Chain A
Protein backbone atom coordinates (compact mmCIF):
# COMPACT_ATOMS: atom_id res chain seq x y z
CA UNK A 1 0.00 0.00 0.00
CA UNK A 2 2.60 2.54 1.09
CA UNK A 3 4.72 3.97 -1.70
CA UNK A 4 7.27 5.40 0.74
CA UNK A 5 8.84 3.18 3.39
CA UNK A 6 11.50 5.54 4.74
CA UNK A 7 12.04 9.31 4.76
CA UNK A 8 15.82 8.77 5.05
CA UNK A 9 16.26 8.03 1.36
CA UNK A 10 17.93 10.50 -0.99
CA UNK A 11 15.12 12.98 -1.81
CA UNK A 12 16.22 13.15 -5.44
CA UNK A 13 15.34 9.46 -5.77
CA UNK A 14 11.78 9.98 -4.53
CA UNK A 15 9.13 10.03 -7.23
CA UNK A 16 5.39 9.77 -6.68
CA UNK A 17 4.48 9.75 -3.00
CA UNK A 18 0.76 8.95 -3.03
CA UNK A 19 -0.48 5.45 -2.24
CA UNK A 20 -1.53 2.86 -4.85
CA UNK A 21 0.76 4.19 -7.60
CA UNK A 22 -0.27 2.50 -10.87
CA UNK A 23 -3.95 2.35 -9.98
CA UNK A 24 -4.71 5.90 -11.15
CA UNK A 25 -6.94 4.67 -13.99
CA UNK A 26 -9.30 2.94 -11.52
CA UNK A 27 -9.81 6.20 -9.63
CA UNK A 28 -10.17 8.08 -12.90
CA UNK A 29 -12.95 5.76 -14.09
CA UNK A 30 -14.75 6.06 -10.74
CA UNK A 31 -14.43 9.86 -10.68
CA UNK A 32 -15.49 10.40 -14.32
CA UNK A 33 -18.49 8.11 -13.80
CA UNK A 34 -19.39 9.95 -10.59
CA UNK A 35 -19.09 13.30 -12.35
CA UNK A 36 -21.39 12.22 -15.20
CA UNK A 37 -23.91 10.64 -12.84
CA UNK A 38 -23.96 13.82 -10.76
CA UNK A 39 -24.85 15.95 -13.81
CA UNK A 40 -27.61 13.55 -14.89
CA UNK A 41 -29.03 13.30 -11.35
CA UNK A 42 -28.94 17.09 -10.96
CA UNK A 43 -30.81 17.74 -14.21
CA UNK A 44 -33.44 15.12 -13.37
CA UNK A 45 -33.90 16.52 -9.86
CA UNK A 46 -34.19 20.07 -11.17
CA UNK A 47 -36.74 19.03 -13.80
CA UNK A 48 -38.81 17.15 -11.22
CA UNK A 49 -38.84 20.13 -8.84
CA UNK A 50 -39.92 22.55 -11.54
CA UNK A 51 -42.58 20.19 -12.82
CA UNK A 52 -44.07 19.76 -9.35
CA UNK A 53 -43.98 23.45 -8.45
CA UNK A 54 -45.21 24.52 -11.86
CA UNK A 55 -48.36 22.48 -11.29
CA UNK A 56 -49.01 24.29 -8.02
CA UNK A 57 -48.28 27.79 -9.31
CA UNK A 58 -51.32 28.26 -11.53
CA UNK A 59 -54.00 30.96 -11.68
CA UNK A 60 -54.70 32.65 -8.35
CA UNK A 61 -51.89 30.89 -6.50
CA UNK A 62 -49.37 32.32 -8.98
CA UNK A 63 -50.78 35.83 -8.56
CA UNK A 64 -50.62 35.38 -4.80
CA UNK A 65 -46.99 34.20 -5.03
CA UNK A 66 -46.04 37.22 -7.15
CA UNK A 67 -47.74 39.61 -4.71
CA UNK A 68 -45.96 37.91 -1.82
CA UNK A 69 -42.58 38.21 -3.57
CA UNK A 70 -43.05 41.94 -4.09
CA UNK A 71 -44.25 42.57 -0.52
CA UNK A 72 -41.11 40.77 0.72
CA UNK A 73 -38.92 42.66 -1.76
CA UNK A 74 -40.22 46.05 -0.67
CA UNK A 75 -39.94 45.27 3.03
CA UNK A 76 -36.30 44.25 2.46
CA UNK A 77 -36.59 40.86 4.20
Chain B
Protein backbone atom coordinates (compact mmCIF):
# COMPACT_ATOMS: atom_id res chain seq x y z
CA UNK B 1 0.00 0.00 0.00
CA UNK B 2 2.80 2.35 0.95
CA UNK B 3 4.64 1.68 -2.30
CA UNK B 4 1.46 2.23 -4.34
CA UNK B 5 0.77 5.50 -2.52
CA UNK B 6 4.32 6.71 -3.19
CA UNK B 7 3.92 5.86 -6.86
CA UNK B 8 0.64 7.78 -7.04
CA UNK B 9 2.23 10.80 -5.36
CA UNK B 10 5.05 10.77 -7.91
CA UNK B 11 2.75 10.37 -10.92
CA UNK B 12 0.31 13.02 -9.63
CA UNK B 13 3.19 15.43 -9.06
CA UNK B 14 4.57 14.72 -12.53
CA UNK B 15 1.21 15.42 -14.17
CA UNK B 16 0.55 18.50 -12.00
CA UNK B 17 3.77 20.28 -13.02
CA UNK B 18 3.25 19.30 -16.65
CA UNK B 19 -0.13 21.05 -16.61
CA UNK B 20 1.31 24.18 -14.97
CA UNK B 21 4.03 24.37 -17.62
CA UNK B 22 1.46 24.35 -20.42
CA UNK B 23 -0.49 27.14 -18.71
CA UNK B 24 2.66 29.14 -18.14
CA UNK B 25 3.48 29.03 -21.84
CA UNK B 26 0.68 31.59 -22.16
CA UNK B 27 2.81 34.08 -20.20
CA UNK B 28 5.30 34.13 -23.04
CA UNK B 29 2.57 34.35 -25.67
CA UNK B 30 1.11 37.29 -23.76
CA UNK B 31 4.46 39.02 -23.34
CA UNK B 32 5.18 38.72 -27.08
CA UNK B 33 1.71 40.01 -27.93
CA UNK B 34 1.83 43.05 -25.71
CA UNK B 35 5.40 43.99 -26.56
CA UNK B 36 4.62 43.83 -30.27
CA UNK B 37 1.49 45.89 -29.82
CA UNK B 38 3.29 48.57 -27.81
CA UNK B 39 5.99 48.94 -30.46
CA UNK B 40 5.46 51.12 -33.51
CA UNK B 41 4.78 49.53 -36.90
CA UNK B 42 8.34 50.08 -38.07
CA UNK B 43 9.67 47.80 -35.29
CA UNK B 44 7.13 44.96 -35.07
CA UNK B 45 9.17 42.08 -36.50
CA UNK B 46 12.29 42.99 -34.53
CA UNK B 47 10.29 43.24 -31.30
CA UNK B 48 8.63 39.88 -31.85
CA UNK B 49 11.83 38.02 -32.74
CA UNK B 50 13.77 39.56 -29.87
CA UNK B 51 11.43 38.07 -27.30
CA UNK B 52 10.44 34.89 -29.16
CA UNK B 53 14.09 33.78 -29.35
CA UNK B 54 14.27 33.88 -25.54
CA UNK B 55 12.55 30.49 -25.72
CA UNK B 56 15.38 28.52 -27.38
CA UNK B 57 18.27 30.60 -26.04
CA UNK B 58 17.33 30.46 -22.36
CA UNK B 59 16.09 26.87 -22.63
CA UNK B 60 19.46 25.51 -23.71
CA UNK B 61 21.47 27.57 -21.21
CA UNK B 62 19.11 26.55 -18.42
CA UNK B 63 19.67 22.91 -19.42
CA UNK B 64 23.44 23.36 -19.58
CA UNK B 65 23.92 25.02 -16.19
CA UNK B 66 20.87 26.88 -14.82
CA UNK B 67 19.16 23.88 -13.27
CA UNK B 68 22.35 22.75 -11.55
CA UNK B 69 22.92 26.23 -10.05
CA UNK B 70 19.57 26.11 -8.25
CA UNK B 71 20.47 22.97 -6.33
CA UNK B 72 24.18 23.71 -5.90
CA UNK B 73 24.27 27.15 -4.29
CA UNK B 74 21.52 27.47 -1.62
CA UNK B 75 24.31 27.90 0.96
CA UNK B 76 25.85 30.84 -0.88
CA UNK B 77 28.25 29.03 -1.14
CA UNK B 78 30.28 30.08 1.87
CA UNK B 79 27.45 31.54 3.96
CA UNK B 80 25.72 28.52 5.51
CA UNK B 81 27.86 25.84 3.87
CA UNK B 82 29.58 24.84 0.66
CA UNK B 83 28.42 23.75 -2.77
CA UNK B 84 25.71 21.09 -2.57
CA UNK B 85 26.15 17.88 -4.58
CA UNK B 86 23.41 17.90 -7.21
CA UNK B 87 23.98 14.91 -9.49
CA UNK B 88 20.38 14.84 -10.77
CA UNK B 89 20.60 18.40 -12.14
CA UNK B 90 23.79 18.38 -14.24
CA UNK B 91 23.48 18.30 -17.99
CA UNK B 92 25.28 14.92 -17.96
CA UNK B 93 22.90 13.25 -15.50
CA UNK B 94 21.04 10.15 -16.67
CA UNK B 95 17.87 11.50 -15.02
CA UNK B 96 18.03 14.55 -17.31
CA UNK B 97 16.67 12.20 -20.00
CA UNK B 98 14.17 9.38 -20.51
CA UNK B 99 14.46 7.23 -17.41
CA UNK B 100 12.17 4.81 -15.52
CA UNK B 101 13.87 5.18 -12.15
CA UNK B 102 15.59 1.80 -11.92
CA UNK B 103 19.38 1.41 -11.69
CA UNK B 104 19.64 4.86 -10.14
CA UNK B 105 20.59 5.95 -6.66
CA UNK B 106 18.45 9.02 -7.25
CA UNK B 107 15.26 6.93 -7.24
CA UNK B 108 12.12 6.86 -9.31
CA UNK B 109 10.96 10.24 -8.03
CA UNK B 110 13.65 12.35 -9.66
CA UNK B 111 13.60 10.19 -12.77
CA UNK B 112 9.97 11.08 -13.43
CA UNK B 113 9.71 14.55 -11.93
CA UNK B 114 13.02 16.05 -13.02
CA UNK B 115 11.86 17.07 -16.50
CA UNK B 116 8.60 18.73 -15.46
CA UNK B 117 10.15 20.42 -12.41
CA UNK B 118 12.99 21.67 -14.63
CA UNK B 119 10.44 22.96 -17.12
CA UNK B 120 8.46 24.80 -14.43
CA UNK B 121 11.63 26.64 -13.40
CA UNK B 122 12.56 27.18 -17.03
CA UNK B 123 9.25 28.94 -17.68
CA UNK B 124 10.10 31.26 -14.76
CA UNK B 125 13.42 31.89 -16.54
CA UNK B 126 11.64 32.91 -19.75
CA UNK B 127 9.38 35.18 -17.70
CA UNK B 128 12.22 37.05 -16.02
CA UNK B 129 13.95 37.57 -19.38
CA UNK B 130 10.67 38.74 -20.93
CA UNK B 131 10.23 41.33 -18.18
CA UNK B 132 13.45 42.95 -19.38
CA UNK B 133 12.55 42.49 -23.04
CA UNK B 134 9.49 44.74 -22.95
CA UNK B 135 11.25 47.67 -21.31
CA UNK B 136 14.00 47.93 -23.93
CA UNK B 137 12.09 47.63 -27.21
CA UNK B 138 12.73 49.67 -30.34
CA UNK B 139 16.44 50.41 -29.81
CA UNK B 140 18.35 47.45 -28.31
CA UNK B 141 20.38 45.09 -30.48
CA UNK B 142 18.95 41.57 -30.41
CA UNK B 143 22.37 40.01 -29.82
CA UNK B 144 22.93 42.17 -26.74
CA UNK B 145 19.49 41.40 -25.37
CA UNK B 146 19.99 37.67 -25.80
CA UNK B 147 23.22 37.79 -23.79
CA UNK B 148 21.36 39.71 -21.06
CA UNK B 149 18.55 37.11 -21.27
CA UNK B 150 21.01 34.26 -20.65
CA UNK B 151 22.49 36.13 -17.69
CA UNK B 152 19.20 36.88 -15.97
CA UNK B 153 17.31 33.76 -17.13
CA UNK B 154 19.91 31.09 -16.47
CA UNK B 155 22.23 32.65 -13.95
CA UNK B 156 21.26 35.56 -11.68
CA UNK B 157 17.61 34.68 -11.08
CA UNK B 158 18.57 31.06 -10.44
CA UNK B 159 21.04 32.19 -7.78
CA UNK B 160 18.35 34.28 -6.10
CA UNK B 161 15.98 31.32 -6.23
CA UNK B 162 18.60 29.08 -4.58
CA UNK B 163 19.17 31.71 -1.87
CA UNK B 164 15.61 32.82 -1.16
CA UNK B 165 13.23 30.40 -2.87
CA UNK B 166 14.54 27.07 -1.68
CA UNK B 167 13.58 25.27 1.55
CA UNK B 168 17.22 25.43 2.67
CA UNK B 169 18.31 28.71 1.08
CA UNK B 170 20.60 30.80 3.27
CA UNK B 171 18.27 33.81 3.07
CA UNK B 172 15.42 31.66 4.40
CA UNK B 173 17.61 30.29 7.18
CA UNK B 174 19.26 33.51 8.34
CA UNK B 175 16.93 36.34 7.25
CA UNK B 176 13.58 34.55 7.48
CA UNK B 177 13.05 35.51 3.83
CA UNK B 178 9.57 34.63 2.57
CA UNK B 179 8.45 35.11 -1.03
CA UNK B 180 5.91 32.39 -1.74
CA UNK B 181 4.83 33.47 -5.25
CA UNK B 182 8.00 35.27 -6.30
CA UNK B 183 7.42 39.01 -5.82
CA UNK B 184 11.17 39.34 -5.34
CA UNK B 185 12.79 36.29 -6.89
CA UNK B 186 11.23 36.84 -10.31
CA UNK B 187 9.75 40.33 -10.47
CA UNK B 188 12.08 42.48 -8.39
CA UNK B 189 15.17 41.00 -10.04
CA UNK B 190 13.59 41.41 -13.49
CA UNK B 191 12.75 45.04 -12.74
CA UNK B 192 16.20 45.77 -11.30
CA UNK B 193 17.85 44.22 -14.35
CA UNK B 194 15.61 46.22 -16.70
CA UNK B 195 16.44 49.48 -14.92
CA UNK B 196 20.20 48.92 -15.29
CA UNK B 197 19.82 48.10 -18.99
CA UNK B 198 17.66 51.20 -19.54
CA UNK B 199 20.22 53.49 -17.90
CA UNK B 200 22.94 52.37 -20.32
CA UNK B 201 20.61 52.10 -23.30
CA UNK B 202 19.05 55.55 -23.08
CA UNK B 203 15.61 56.62 -24.32
CA UNK B 204 14.17 56.10 -27.80
CA UNK B 205 14.69 58.91 -30.30
CA UNK B 206 12.01 61.53 -29.73
CA UNK B 207 10.77 60.14 -26.43
CA UNK B 208 11.71 63.31 -24.55
CA UNK B 209 11.26 66.90 -25.65
CA UNK B 210 14.37 69.14 -25.43
CA UNK B 211 13.14 70.41 -22.05
CA UNK B 212 12.91 66.81 -20.77
CA UNK B 213 9.13 66.46 -20.97
CA UNK B 214 8.23 62.86 -21.87
CA UNK B 215 6.21 62.28 -25.03
CA UNK B 216 3.72 59.47 -25.55
CA UNK B 217 5.03 57.13 -28.25
CA UNK B 218 1.62 55.63 -28.80
CA UNK B 219 1.31 51.83 -29.16
CA UNK B 220 0.36 50.82 -32.69
CA UNK B 221 -2.38 48.56 -31.28
CA UNK B 222 -3.38 49.20 -27.64
CA UNK B 223 -6.14 46.55 -27.74
CA UNK B 224 -3.70 43.81 -28.62
CA UNK B 225 -1.64 44.95 -25.63
CA UNK B 226 -4.46 44.40 -23.18
CA UNK B 227 -5.35 41.02 -24.68
CA UNK B 228 -1.69 40.13 -24.21
CA UNK B 229 -1.98 41.12 -20.57
CA UNK B 230 -5.12 38.96 -20.26
CA UNK B 231 -3.06 36.02 -21.50
CA UNK B 232 -0.34 36.85 -18.98
CA UNK B 233 -2.98 36.75 -16.19
CA UNK B 234 -3.97 33.26 -17.37
CA UNK B 235 -0.41 32.05 -17.44
CA UNK B 236 0.26 33.71 -14.10
CA UNK B 237 -2.46 31.53 -12.57
CA UNK B 238 -0.52 28.50 -13.76
CA UNK B 239 2.62 30.12 -12.37
CA UNK B 240 1.01 30.28 -8.93
CA UNK B 241 0.20 26.57 -9.08
CA UNK B 242 3.73 25.83 -10.29
CA UNK B 243 5.18 27.61 -7.25
CA UNK B 244 3.57 24.99 -5.00
CA UNK B 245 4.59 21.47 -4.19
CA UNK B 246 1.25 19.81 -5.02
CA UNK B 247 1.20 16.95 -2.53
CA UNK B 248 3.46 16.55 0.48
CA UNK B 249 3.21 14.83 3.84
CA UNK B 250 3.32 17.73 6.30
CA UNK B 251 2.55 15.63 9.39
CA UNK B 252 6.06 15.16 10.73
CA UNK B 253 5.81 12.39 13.35
CA UNK B 254 2.00 12.44 13.34
CA UNK B 255 -0.22 10.29 11.10
CA UNK B 256 0.13 11.06 7.39
CA UNK B 257 -1.45 14.36 6.33
CA UNK B 258 -1.10 15.36 2.71
CA UNK B 259 -1.32 18.99 1.68
CA UNK B 260 -0.10 21.36 -0.98
CA UNK B 261 2.85 23.38 0.26
CA UNK B 262 4.84 26.39 -0.83
CA UNK B 263 8.36 25.99 -2.17
CA UNK B 264 9.46 26.30 1.50
CA UNK B 265 7.38 23.16 2.29
CA UNK B 266 5.07 25.25 4.50
CA UNK B 267 1.40 24.29 4.13
CA UNK B 268 -1.05 26.17 1.93
CA UNK B 269 -3.96 25.19 -0.31
CA UNK B 270 -4.90 25.77 -3.94
CA UNK B 271 -8.10 27.30 -2.55
CA UNK B 272 -6.18 29.90 -0.55
CA UNK B 273 -4.00 30.98 -3.44
CA UNK B 274 -7.00 31.11 -5.79
CA UNK B 275 -8.79 33.48 -3.40
CA UNK B 276 -5.72 35.67 -3.12
CA UNK B 277 -4.72 35.60 -6.77
CA UNK B 278 -8.14 36.86 -7.81
CA UNK B 279 -8.57 39.38 -5.00
CA UNK B 280 -5.15 40.90 -5.59
CA UNK B 281 -5.89 41.01 -9.31
CA UNK B 282 -9.15 42.79 -8.53
CA UNK B 283 -7.51 45.25 -6.13
CA UNK B 284 -4.84 46.01 -8.69
CA UNK B 285 -7.24 46.52 -11.60
CA UNK B 286 -9.55 48.75 -9.55
CA UNK B 287 -6.66 50.93 -8.42
CA UNK B 288 -5.10 50.90 -11.90
CA UNK B 289 -8.36 52.14 -13.39
CA UNK B 290 -8.74 54.76 -10.65
CA UNK B 291 -5.25 56.17 -10.67
CA UNK B 292 -4.88 56.21 -14.48
CA UNK B 293 -8.39 57.61 -14.95
CA UNK B 294 -9.55 54.61 -16.94
CA UNK B 295 -6.53 54.12 -19.19
CA UNK B 296 -6.84 50.57 -20.57
CA UNK B 297 -3.14 49.80 -20.58
CA UNK B 298 -2.55 50.89 -16.99
CA UNK B 299 -5.75 49.24 -15.77
CA UNK B 300 -4.55 45.89 -17.05
CA UNK B 301 -0.97 46.54 -15.95
CA UNK B 302 -2.43 47.46 -12.55
CA UNK B 303 -3.99 44.00 -12.34
CA UNK B 304 -0.62 42.40 -13.00
CA UNK B 305 1.19 44.70 -10.58
CA UNK B 306 -1.48 44.04 -7.95
CA UNK B 307 -0.86 40.30 -8.07
CA UNK B 308 2.90 40.86 -7.91
CA UNK B 309 2.53 43.25 -4.96
CA UNK B 310 0.71 40.59 -2.92
CA UNK B 311 2.54 37.51 -4.18
CA UNK B 312 5.22 37.28 -1.48
CA UNK B 313 2.57 36.56 1.16
CA UNK B 314 -0.34 35.23 -0.88
CA UNK B 315 0.04 31.79 0.70
CA UNK B 316 -1.05 33.24 4.05
CA UNK B 317 -2.90 36.54 3.54
CA UNK B 318 -6.65 36.86 3.93
CA UNK B 319 -8.14 37.72 0.51
CA UNK B 320 -9.18 41.19 1.72
CA UNK B 321 -5.63 41.83 2.91
CA UNK B 322 -4.35 40.72 -0.50
CA UNK B 323 -6.74 43.14 -2.19
CA UNK B 324 -5.75 46.13 -0.05
CA UNK B 325 -2.02 45.37 -0.35
CA UNK B 326 -2.43 45.10 -4.13
CA UNK B 327 -4.39 48.35 -4.42
CA UNK B 328 -1.93 50.39 -2.36
CA UNK B 329 0.98 48.87 -4.26
CA UNK B 330 -0.46 49.80 -7.65
CA UNK B 331 -1.01 53.40 -6.55
CA UNK B 332 2.65 53.62 -5.47
CA UNK B 333 4.14 51.99 -8.57
CA UNK B 334 2.03 54.09 -10.95
CA UNK B 335 3.19 57.32 -9.32
CA UNK B 336 6.79 56.11 -9.18
CA UNK B 337 6.82 55.13 -12.86
CA UNK B 338 5.93 58.63 -14.05
CA UNK B 339 8.08 60.36 -11.45
CA UNK B 340 11.18 58.35 -12.47
CA UNK B 341 10.38 58.89 -16.15
CA UNK B 342 10.21 62.67 -15.75
CA UNK B 343 13.01 63.05 -13.22
CA UNK B 344 15.65 60.75 -14.76
CA UNK B 345 14.39 60.46 -18.35
CA UNK B 346 14.19 56.68 -18.11
CA UNK B 347 12.27 55.38 -21.12
CA UNK B 348 10.64 52.15 -19.97
CA UNK B 349 8.40 51.35 -22.94
CA UNK B 350 6.02 49.04 -21.08
CA UNK B 351 6.42 50.16 -17.47
CA UNK B 352 8.22 46.91 -16.60
CA UNK B 353 10.46 48.43 -13.93
CA UNK B 354 7.37 49.70 -12.11
CA UNK B 355 4.98 46.79 -12.69
CA UNK B 356 7.58 44.12 -11.85
CA UNK B 357 10.46 45.84 -10.07
CA UNK B 358 8.82 48.35 -7.73
CA UNK B 359 5.77 46.12 -7.16
CA UNK B 360 8.07 43.18 -6.40
CA UNK B 361 10.15 45.14 -3.88
CA UNK B 362 7.00 46.53 -2.26
CA UNK B 363 5.48 43.03 -2.06
CA UNK B 364 8.52 41.54 -0.32
CA UNK B 365 8.79 44.42 2.18
CA UNK B 366 5.07 44.49 3.02
CA UNK B 367 5.08 40.73 3.66
CA UNK B 368 7.75 41.32 6.31
CA UNK B 369 5.38 43.51 8.32
CA UNK B 370 2.08 41.69 7.72
CA UNK B 371 3.55 38.21 8.27
CA UNK B 372 5.96 39.23 11.06
CA UNK B 373 6.59 36.23 13.35
CA UNK B 374 5.40 33.43 11.03
CA UNK B 375 7.95 30.63 10.57
CA UNK B 376 9.68 31.09 7.24
CA UNK B 377 10.19 27.37 6.76
CA UNK B 378 8.93 23.99 7.86
CA UNK B 379 12.40 23.37 9.32
CA UNK B 380 12.70 24.30 12.99
CA UNK B 381 15.42 26.77 13.95
CA UNK B 382 15.28 29.06 10.92
CA UNK B 383 14.66 32.80 11.41
CA UNK B 384 11.01 33.85 11.44
CA UNK B 385 9.60 36.23 8.84
CA UNK B 386 10.48 39.81 9.86
CA UNK B 387 10.60 43.29 8.28
CA UNK B 388 14.39 43.71 8.33
CA UNK B 389 14.99 40.33 6.72
CA UNK B 390 12.49 41.16 3.97
CA UNK B 391 13.99 44.63 3.38
CA UNK B 392 17.47 43.13 3.05
CA UNK B 393 15.99 40.40 0.86
CA UNK B 394 14.31 42.93 -1.44
CA UNK B 395 17.60 44.85 -1.73
CA UNK B 396 19.45 41.65 -2.69
CA UNK B 397 16.82 40.78 -5.30
CA UNK B 398 16.42 44.19 -6.93
CA UNK B 399 19.88 45.67 -6.57
CA UNK B 400 22.57 43.04 -5.79
CA UNK B 401 21.38 40.33 -8.19
CA UNK B 402 19.18 42.43 -10.49
CA UNK B 403 20.68 45.88 -11.04
CA UNK B 404 24.43 45.35 -10.46
CA UNK B 405 25.23 42.40 -12.77
CA UNK B 406 23.13 43.95 -15.56
CA UNK B 407 24.80 47.34 -15.10
CA UNK B 408 28.26 45.76 -15.43
CA UNK B 409 27.30 43.59 -18.42
CA UNK B 410 25.65 46.49 -20.25
CA UNK B 411 28.64 48.73 -19.53
CA UNK B 412 30.83 46.16 -21.31
CA UNK B 413 28.37 45.75 -24.20
CA UNK B 414 28.19 49.53 -24.57
CA UNK B 415 31.99 49.84 -24.64
CA UNK B 416 32.05 47.25 -27.43
CA UNK B 417 29.32 49.18 -29.28
CA UNK B 418 27.06 46.12 -29.16
CA UNK B 419 24.20 47.48 -27.05
CA UNK B 420 22.20 49.93 -29.14
CA UNK B 421 21.28 49.97 -32.82
CA UNK B 422 22.70 52.83 -34.92
CA UNK B 423 20.67 56.05 -34.75
CA UNK B 424 19.69 56.13 -38.41
CA UNK B 425 18.49 52.50 -38.34
CA UNK B 426 16.38 53.31 -35.27
CA UNK B 427 14.86 56.30 -37.04
CA UNK B 428 14.10 54.35 -40.22
CA UNK B 429 12.80 51.42 -38.17
CA UNK B 430 14.39 48.19 -37.03
CA UNK B 431 12.38 46.33 -39.67
CA UNK B 432 13.71 48.65 -42.39
CA UNK B 433 15.83 45.94 -44.06
CA UNK B 434 13.03 43.35 -44.10
CA UNK B 435 10.46 45.92 -45.22
CA UNK B 436 12.73 47.14 -48.02
CA UNK B 437 13.10 43.59 -49.35
CA UNK B 438 9.34 43.03 -49.18
CA UNK B 439 8.64 46.30 -51.01
CA UNK B 440 11.23 45.45 -53.64
CA UNK B 441 9.49 42.13 -54.20
CA UNK B 442 6.10 43.87 -54.39
CA UNK B 443 7.55 46.17 -57.05
CA UNK B 444 8.78 43.23 -59.11
CA UNK B 445 5.45 41.40 -58.82
CA UNK B 446 3.40 44.50 -59.70
CA UNK B 447 5.59 45.08 -62.74
CA UNK B 448 5.16 41.44 -63.80
CA UNK B 449 1.38 41.66 -63.43
CA UNK B 450 1.25 44.88 -65.44
CA UNK B 451 3.21 43.22 -68.21
CA UNK B 452 0.89 40.21 -68.08
CA UNK B 453 -2.15 42.50 -68.35
CA UNK B 454 -0.72 44.23 -71.42
CA UNK B 455 0.12 41.01 -73.28
Find chain A residues with CB under 8 A from B95 CB. Answer: 16
Of all chain B residues, the one with the shortest Cβ separation from A51 is B422
Which chain B residues in 405-455 approach chain A with CB under 8 Å? 418, 421-422, 424-425, 427-429, 432-433
Type the 1/0 row for B99-111, where 1 means its CB is closer than 8 Å to any CB of A.
1111110001001
Which chain A residues in 54-69 approach chain B with CB under 8 Å? 54, 57-58, 62, 65-66, 69
The verdict on B141 contacting chain A, using a C-beta distance below 8 Å, is yes
User: A15 to B103, Cβ gap below 8 A?
Assistant: yes
Bound-state CA distance A35–B146 (Å) is: 12
Q: Are A17 and B64 also in contact (CB < 8 A) when A39-B146, A73-B41 are?
A: no
Which chain B residues in 379-408 approach chain A with CB under 8 Å? none
Q: Are A46 and B433 also in contact (CB < 8 A) when A13-B102, A58-B424 are?
A: no
Type the 1/0 row for B76-105, where 1 means its CB is closer than 8 Å to any CB of A.
000000000000000110110111111110
Q: How many chain B residues have a CB neighbour from A under 8 Å?
A: 36
Find chain A residues with CB under 8 A from B92 CB. Answer: 24-25, 28
Bound-state CA distance A73–B94 (Å) is: 53
Which chain B residues in 190-234 approach chain A with CB under 8 Å? 220
User: B91 to A15, Cβ gap below 8 A?
Assistant: no
Of all chain A residues, the one with the shortest Cβ separation from B40 is A73
Bound-state CA distance A39–B101 (Å) is: 36
The verdict on B42 contacting chain A, using a C-beta distance below 8 Å, is yes
Q: Output the residue of B94, B418, B428 with the most chain A CB within 10 A.
A: B428
Type the 1/0 row for A1-31, where 1 means its CB is closer than 8 Å to any CB of B.
0000000001111111110010011001001
Bound-state CA distance A76–B42 (Å) is: 11
Q: Which of B61, B97, B98, B432 contacts A53, CB < 8 Å?
A: B432
Bound-state CA distance A11–B102 (Å) is: 8
Bound-state CA distance A13–B102 (Å) is: 5
Q: Which of B41, B101, B141, B147 contacts A72, CB < 8 Å?
A: B41
Find chain B residues with CB under 8 A from A50 CB. Answer: 141, 421-422, 425
User: A46 to B143, Cβ gap below 8 A?
Assistant: yes
Q: Output the residue of A14, A15, A31 with the most chain B CB within 10 A.
A: A15
Q: How many chain A residues have a CB neighbour from B under 8 Å?
A: 34
Find chain B residues with CB under 8 A from A25 CB. Answer: 92
Q: Which of A16, A54, A65 contacts B97, CB < 8 Å?
A: A16
User: A66 to B146, Cβ gap below 8 A?
Assistant: no
- Chain B nearest CB, measured from A53 CB (Å): 6
Of all chain B residues, the one with the shortest Cβ separation from A58 is B424
Residues of A near any B CB (own CB < 8 A): 10-18, 21, 24-25, 28, 31-32, 35, 39, 42-43, 46-47, 49-50, 53-54, 57-58, 62, 65-66, 69, 72-73, 77
Mind listing 23 A-B residue pairs with CB under 8 Å?
A12-B102, A14-B100, A15-B94, A16-B95, A16-B98, A18-B97, A25-B92, A31-B60, A32-B64, A35-B64, A39-B146, A42-B142, A43-B418, A47-B143, A47-B418, A50-B421, A50-B425, A53-B425, A57-B424, A65-B429, A69-B429, A72-B41, A73-B220
Residues of B near any A CB (own CB < 8 A): 40-42, 60-61, 64, 91-92, 94-95, 97-104, 108, 111, 141-143, 146-147, 220, 418, 421-422, 424-425, 427-429, 432-433
